[in-house]
Amino acid sequence: MQTLAHFGDGGPGPWILFLPVIWALVIGGGIALLRRTVWRGRRGPARPTVGENSPLAVLGHRFASGEIDEDEYWRRLSVLDEQFGRNGKGGAA
């Protein structure tokens, strides 16, 4: 059986697969690079991470467990945003 473009008759043999594999790696690498750099910024702003013992996390846990109502939650959240700020102002980073 003669395969890969007549390998035994002086054809390219398995080397015929080399160029398509190289192109597949180049295209795959380009897509991976774009996903890690350019396309990442289009998803919108990342949600800020809050530490487990931060005041914002404690407030969220208290609201979720029912200790405080929604009005109290929003009132306290506005005060905490002024002090600790999700935008980097204030005492906590």
Amino acid 32: pLDDT: 92
Condensed to tens digits (0 to 9), the pLDDT of residues 37-74 reads 887 666 666 566 667 788 888 888 999 999 999 999 99
* Residue bearing the bigger pLDDT, 65 or 83: 65
Q: Is the pLDDT of residue 9 over 70?
A: no
Q: Is the pLDDT of residue 92 over 50?
A: no
Nearest to 37 by CA among 27, 47, 29: 29
Q: pTM for the whole thing?
A: 0.38
CA of residue 69 relative to chain centroid, distance? 33
